[in-house]
Structure 1
Amino acid sequence: MPQRSIGPFQVFPIGLGCMNFSHAYGTPPPPEQGERVLLAALDQGVTLFDTAALYGFGGNETIVGRVLKPHRSRITLASKGGMAGVQGDDGVMRRVIDGRPEAIRRNCEDSLRRLQTEVIDLYYLHRWDKKVPVEESVGAMGRLVEQGKVRALGLSEVSAATIRKAHAVHPIAAVQTEYSLWTRNPEIAVLDACRELGIAFVAFSPVARAFLCDALHDVTTLEAKDIRRTMPRFEPAHYARNLQLLPGYKALAREAGCTPAQLALAWLLHKREYIVPIPGTTNVDHLRENLGAVNVKLQPALIERLDAHINQRTVSGHRYSAQSRSEVDTEDYPEA
């Protein structure tokens, strides 16, 4: 299987986003379920594993570190700092974006301990803290490289302009942002900036948070703490319009000879050779299905029809709430 490059690393074309084991989509599964998925991913040849200090307020890194420690030499391990859980005076853990150098150093030390490793292969700035120049945050991350605690640096949810500022301070190996048929923001400028600078693009939520798997038909069944409840395109009125896209999409998947989830991933793999999708799942069968996308060949004419069917003009609702949009630096399309 041809590998894809992320900085100095060669990885299987599809990685594993580990967030789902501990964070974001309602009640997390039992830890042993996450363990089964991690070990199955290793068995299937996955080499890129992506976690973060924020996920489960450290719990995700703890699971990933415990399970993958015996296999550390076989994998590329990615984590993120600059956004983590902080315990308030009331004892409640809350998400805090903090890009100050001292916070990044502390986040990294905590991650190294939880991951049970001496070095993190790919360390991202999870969010750019707009109160701190990105050059300061990346400078602190560069010192982690000098100290041997991190091998390569990444950025998450940033614009092309911010990528260029950061890359001038220290080489950036990867940029991670949501990208799928229904979230096209990276096409505005970030993908081209990555190509120009030799940076890998890591696509999270590549199957549109289950929409492109044809796995979510009734959003009213989502748990109260499921983050999709805060996302406009999952609001019932928007989602009802988006569901109208699925019949045509499933017909294209049948034409391609694959499942809807595999079509979404294959589309990304065909888009650019420097894109590495990182779908997440808590189900071993879904994992295997996702990885099967590497064998799906799409004809240019079918890709054109896909692009025309699901894109920023045909999808109803924004990907993030107004609050979440204020926290990211990605370029955005004008409101329709």
Structure 2
Amino acid sequence: MKQVSIGANGPKTACLGIGGMSFADFYGPTSEENSHAILDAAIAAGVTHIDTSNVYGMGRSETAIGTYLRANPAARDHFHIATKGGISKDAQGNRAFDNSPQHLEAALDASLQRLGIDRVDLYYVHRREAARPIEEVAETLAGLVAKGKCRQIGFSEIAPSSLRRAHAVHPVAAVQSEYSLATRFPELGLVQTCAELGTALVAFSPVSRSLLTDTPLAAEVIQTLPFLKSAPRFQQPNLSANLALTEGFRRLAAEMGLPAAGLAIAWCLAKGDHILPIPGTRSVSHFHELVAGANATLTADDIARIETVLPVGWAHGDRYSDEQWNGPERYC
């Protein structure tokens, strides 16, 4: 499998990663056994990067990874492990963001305990605290590297201008952002800035939360998932429009001999050697579909055919609701 460098001159990982959100019931019920089966399949396929967070299931995702590592000690050397911190709650219990040195280090310490390791390979700030200069946050993260608690640093959902400011203080190895055929705003600066700085662009939701698969989530299932039922693309009439539009993509994938999810991954990888998609899954069979895409090579003609079926701006509805937009930086 092709390799991606995590940061300029940084370690290399397989070009496909695992999004740990699915280990915590985010897209439907799962079990630790299911999560462990996916990690087994990842080792067999040569997939190395795991991307999780302290808030996925309030630590449940990290705990599932930790129990796997304890049961399979050699797996620690196989996996490149990333986690995130920086989301907290205010006095009223509402979601808030805290990038203070005290909060980020305490969150990382708790993550390390759940994971059962003494250092993560990559530690991101999950959401930027707008009032705190990002240069200060980069200094805090650099201090965690110096203490040996993480090897490299990253940020999630920040603007290209913020990336440049942070990178001037300490090399930013990775920026995580939603990126797929349905969500292409990173092409307006983030893809390019990451490439220029040698920063990996870690693309979450590369199959657009099931829209770009052969079996999109049914409307009745979506209603059981708090995040998706609030997301505009998954509300009617947008959902029906998006399902109809992606039928052409599913037919094209079949013509090209790939699962739809695999074709979505192959497209994402074709957009840059520094791009690392991290789809989440609760299914080993679906994981194999994703691996098929990571092992595929698309021609310029293939890309043109894909982007004719799903041109820029095809999706109906925003990727986030107004409430969900609290935290990510908008820059275009």
- Tell me the TM-score normalized by structure 1: 0.92
Counterpart contact for 2:214–2:259, Cα < 8 Å: no
- Further displaced range: 157-166 or 239-248: 239-248
- Superposition map of 1:109-148 within 5 A: 109-148=109-148
CA gap of 1:87–1:41, structure 2 versus 1, over 3 A, is farther
Q: Secondary structure at the match of 2:107?
A: helix
Aligned-residue CA RMSD (Å): 1.8
Could you tell me how far apart the structure 1 residues matched to 2:43 and 2:18 are? 10
Q: Secondary structure at the match of 1:318?
A: coil
Could you tell me how far apart the structure 1 residues matched to 2:54 and 2:123 are? 11
For residues 258-307 of structure 1, give each alpha carbon's deviation from its aligned partner in whole angstroms, at most 9, with x where no partner exists. 11111100001111111111111011111111111123222212212322
Hey, what does 2:41 align to over in structure 1? 40
For residues 184-234 of structure 1, give each alpha carbon's deviation from its aligned partner in whole angstroms, at most 9, with x where no partner exists. 011011011001111111110000001101322632332434311111011
- Tell me the TM-score normalized by structure 2: 0.93
Count residues in correspondence.
327
The answer on 1:80 being equivalent to 2:84 is yes
Which amino acid in 2 is paired with 1:320? Answer: Y
For residues 110-167 of structure 1, give each alpha carbon's deviation from its aligned partner in whole angstroms, at most 9, with x where no partner exists. 1111111111101111111112222222211110001111100111101101101111
Q: Secondary structure at the match of 1:68?
A: helix
For residues 64-90 of structure 1, give each alpha carbon's deviation from its aligned partner in whole angstroms, at most 9, with x where no partner exists. 112124111121110001125x5978x
Q: Secondary structure at the match of 1:117?
A: coil
Hey, what does 1:248 align to over in structure 2? 248
CA gap of 1:271–1:81, structure 2 versus 1, over 3 A, is same
CA gap of 1:57–1:88, structure 2 versus 1, over 3 A, is farther
In the TM superposition, residue 98 of structure 1 has moved relative to its aligned partner by 1.3
Counterpart contact for 2:21–2:52, Cα < 8 Å: yes
Could you tell me how far apart the structure 2 residues matched to 1:123 and 1:102 are? 15
- Further displaced range: 202-211 or 134-143: 134-143
Hey, what does 1:10 align to over in structure 2? 12
In the TM superposition, residue 326 of structure 1 has moved relative to its aligned partner by 3.3
Which amino acid in 1 is paired with 2:180? Answer: S
Q: Secondary structure at the match of 1:212?
A: coil
For structure 2, the residue ranges without an aligned partner over 5 or more in a row are none
In the TM superposition, residue 31 of structure 1 has moved relative to its aligned partner by 1.6
Hey, what does 1:258 align to over in structure 2? 258
- Further displaced range: 254-263 or 164-173: 254-263
Hey, what does 2:229 align to over in structure 1? 229
- Superposition map of 1:161-200 within 5 A: 161-200=161-200
Could you tell me how far apart the structure 2 residues matched to 1:185 and 1:218 are? 26
- Further displaced range: 204-213 or 14-23: 14-23
CA gap of 1:291–1:22, structure 2 versus 1, over 3 A, is same
Could you tell me how far apart the structure 2 residues matched to 1:129 and 1:78 are? 20
Counterpart contact for 1:180–1:207, Cα < 8 Å: yes
Post-superposition, which runs of at least 4 consecutive aligned residues in structure 1 deviate over 6 A?
Answer: none
Q: % of aligned pairs identical? A: 39
Hey, what does 1:280 align to over in structure 2? 280
In the TM superposition, residue 237 of structure 1 has moved relative to its aligned partner by 0.4
For structure 1, the residue ranges without an aligned partner over 5 or more in a row are none
Hey, what does 1:306 align to over in structure 2? 306
Could you tell me how far apart the structure 1 residues matched to 2:220 and 2:294 are? 33
Counterpart contact for 1:214–1:246, Cα < 8 Å: no
Which amino acid in 1 is paired with 2:76? Answer: R
Counterpart contact for 1:217–1:243, Cα < 8 Å: no
Q: Secondary structure at the match of 2:281?
A: coil
Could you tell me how far apart the structure 2 residues matched to 1:244 and 1:327 are? 31
Which amino acid in 1 is paired with 2:4? Answer: R
Could you tell me how far apart the structure 1 residues matched to 2:94 and 2:50 are? 25
Which amino acid in 1 is paired with 2:56? Answer: Y
For residues 18-55 of structure 1, give each alpha carbon's deviation from its aligned partner in whole angstroms, at most 9, with x where no partner exists. 111114224x3122111111122122211101111110
Which amino acid in 1 is paired with 2:16? Answer: I
CA gap of 1:217–1:11, structure 2 versus 1, over 3 A, is closer
Aligned to 2:26, which of 14, 24, 27? 24
Which amino acid in 1 is paired with 2:50? Answer: F
